[in-house]
């Protein structure tokens, strides 16, 4: 029985709070706090209707450590689930240290003025969390998150050494809009317009944005054009699995989506620096977010599936082995259960599951951890029971040499 705070009131937070309410024996008191309190109140009302569980709500600016510290000291939670934006990771970690609260997030810290993805800022908190006797769990969504746990599960049960890892992320859903992103547009567009990067033979290799692609066949979906991207879990996975000779990440994009993206970039709407507009400072990508469809509102007419997994090769008992582990998630089923589409669902369910692992004593330790450092078995067991079951295939055709 533990008190918990969720920060952020977007699509992912909506799913997290639904899942916490479904496990109210462990999450005995839930406070949902975000910049706009009315969004927290709307989620709380829906939860009350569906599960008769009371959710407290509050306004907080998570860029301000003193506001967070006051909130934490008033409510005294055991754990904070940060599903606001990556910009707030460090201020929330600082407030956790000041108030003696444990921490969990789903995306690594990014400075606002530079689209730069690396764990160094958060790994630098290792000694502080250790000394304080607190735990910080980083990257506990689907990717990063479940893909990292899938890799740990494969390494634990099916390999002596893993050598080649390809993370494959397919969204084969259709929301009926000409262009929309599936989670926060600003964060999403910053991520996919970056240079591609992969690990091979002990060093990082970079590629021009979205320049490397191939057809990949996804289970029950078929072939989709998939593009090599840099994704943050690669950084911690190559550190925690040093036998990896190559690690890559692939994501599907339709041609229509890529054409819109190219236009957005070419006309300067993906810029993250401030410009002067009629005497007012605006950041083009933030303005774009205001006019694009709200990812939270895509759910209603979203059909199709997501399919995310890991294709791994290595050796077991000196013999070559290949292993493919994945989850397929239906947009419609996610919407019917929580009012959010599958991209929010596949992020929110693992965040609740990580919190459940921590509060039930299955994932413990003082310091800062990436999820693949913990035991994957209880996590995957709980995740499967919570709406995201997984499948795997040994020595099938994983399509990658």
Based on the shown chain and the rule CB under 6 A, indicate whether residue 16 belongs to the binding site for ligand NDP: no
Based on the shown chain and the rule CB under 6 A, indicate whether residue 39 belongs to the binding site for ligand NDP: yes
Based on the shown chain and the rule CB under 6 A, indicate whether residue 367 belongs to the binding site for ligand NDP: no
Q: Which stretch in 45-53, 124-132, 181-189, 362-370 sits in contact with ligand NDP by CB under 6 A?
A: 181-189
Question: Where in 249-308 is the site for ligand NDP (CB under 6 A)?
Answer: 295-296
Q: Toward ligand NDP, which CB reaches closer, 281 or 319?
A: 281
Q: Toward ligand NDP, which CB reaches closer, 153 or 158?
A: 153
Q: Toward ligand NDP, which CB reaches closer, 62 or 329?
A: 62
Question: Where in 328-357 is the site for ligand NDP (CB under 6 A)?
Answer: 343, 347
Handedness of CA 354, 306, 122, 29 (dihedral sign): negative
Residues 6+ apart with CB under 8 A from 155: 162, 241, 314
Q: Which stretch in 55-63, 70-78, 321-329, 369-377 sits in contact with ligand NDP by CB under 6 A?
A: 55-63
Measuring CA to CA, which residue among 359, 347, 343 is closest to residue 383?
Answer: 347
Question: Where in 67-86 is the site for ligand NDP (CB under 6 A)?
Answer: 83-86
Instruction: By CB under 6 A, name the one of 143, 166, 235, 372 that touches ligand NDP.
Output: 143
How distant, in Å, are the alpha carbons of 39, 47, 141, 277 from that of 341?
17, 17, 15, 35
How distant, in Å, are the alpha carbons of 202, 220, 264, 327, 365 from that of 8?
38, 34, 27, 26, 26
Based on the shown chain and the rule CB under 6 A, indicate whether residue 34 belongs to the binding site for ligand NDP: yes
Based on the shown chain and the rule CB under 6 A, indicate whether residue 97 belongs to the binding site for ligand NDP: no
Q: Toward ligand NDP, which CB reaches closer, 330 or 341?
A: 341
Phi and psi for 66 in degrees, rounded to 5?
Answer: -60, -35
Residues 6+ apart with CB under 8 A from 343: 11, 171, 182, 183, 295, 306
CB of 13 to ligand NDP, least distance (A): 6
**Cα torsion for 90, 232, 299, 283, to the nearest 10°?**
60
3 state DSSP class of 162: strand
Instruction: By CB under 6 A, name the one of 187, 212, 221, 269 that touches ligand NDP.
Output: 187
What is the token pair recorded at 38?
């009315």
How many residues sit in the footprint of ligand NDP (CB under 6 A)?
33
Q: Which stretch in 18-26, 41-49, 57-65, 70-78 sits in contact with ligand NDP by CB under 6 A?
A: 57-65
Q: Toward ligand NDP, which CB reaches closer, 141 or 299?
A: 141
Instruction: List, as one string, the DSSP characters of 169-203.
Output: EEE--B-S-SS--SS-HHHHHHHHTSPEEEEETTE
Based on the shown chain and the rule CB under 6 A, indicate whether residue 183 belongs to the binding site for ligand NDP: yes
Put residue 318 in one of left, alpha, beta given phi > 0 → left and psi -120 to 50 → alpha: left
Spatial contact of 353 and 117, defined as CB atoms under 8 Å apart: no
Furthest-apart CA atoms within the chain: distance in Å: 68
What are the residues binding ligand NDP (CB under 6 A)? 8-13, 34-36, 39, 60-63, 83-86, 88, 106-107, 141-145, 183-184, 187, 295-296, 343, 347
């Amino acid at each position: 029985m533990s008190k918990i705070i969720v920060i952020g009131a977007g699509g992912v937070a909506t799913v997290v709070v639904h899942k916490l309410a479904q496990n109210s024996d462990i999450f005995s008191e839930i406070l949902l706090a975000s910049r706009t309190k009315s969004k927290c109140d709307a989620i709380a009302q829906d939860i009350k209707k569906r599960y008769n569980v009371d959710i407290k709500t509050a306004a907080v600016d998570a860029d301000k450590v003193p506001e967070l510290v006051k909130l934490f000291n008033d409510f005294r939670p055991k754990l904070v689930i940060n599903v606001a934006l990556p910009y707030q990771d460090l201020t929330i970690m600082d407030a956790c240290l000041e108030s003696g609260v444990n921490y969990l997030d789903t995306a690594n810290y990014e400075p606002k003025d530079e689209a730069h993805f690396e764990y160094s800022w958060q790994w630098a908190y290792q000694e502080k969390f250790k000394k304080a006797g607190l735990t910080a769990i980083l990257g506990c969504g689907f990717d990063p998150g479940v893909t990292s746990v899938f890799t740990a599960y494969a390494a634990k049960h099916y390999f002596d050494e893993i050598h080649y890892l390809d993370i494959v992320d397919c969204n084969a859903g259709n929301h009926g809009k000409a262009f929309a992103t599936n989670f926060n547009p600003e964060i999403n567009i910053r991520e996919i317009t970056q240079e591609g990067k992969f690990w091979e033979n002990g060093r990082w290799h970079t590629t021009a944005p979205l320049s490397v692609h191939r057809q990949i066949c996804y289970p029950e979906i078929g072939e989709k054009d998939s593009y090599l991207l840099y994704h943050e879990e690669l950084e911690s996975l190559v550190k925690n699995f040093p036998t990896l000779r190559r690690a890559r990440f692939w994501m599907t994009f339709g041609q229509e989506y890529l054409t819109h993206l190219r236009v957005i970039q070419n006309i300067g709407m993906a810029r993250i620096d401030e410009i002067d507009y009629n005497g007012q400072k605006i950041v083009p990508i933030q303005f774009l977010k205001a006019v694009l469809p709200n990812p939270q509102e895509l759910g209603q007419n979203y059909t199709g599936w997501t399919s995310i997994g890991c294709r791994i090769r290595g050796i077991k008992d000196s013999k070559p082995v290949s292993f493919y582990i994945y989850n397929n998630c239906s947009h419609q089923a996610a919407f019917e259960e929580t009012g959010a589409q599958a991209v929010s669902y596949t992020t929110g369910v693992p965040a609740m599951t990580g919190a459940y692992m921590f509060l039930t004593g299955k994932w413990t330790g003082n310091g800062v951890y990436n999820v693949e450092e913990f035991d994957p078995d209880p996590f995957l067991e709980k995740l499967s029971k919570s709406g995201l079951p997984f499948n795997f295939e040994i020595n099938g055709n994983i399509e990658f040499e």
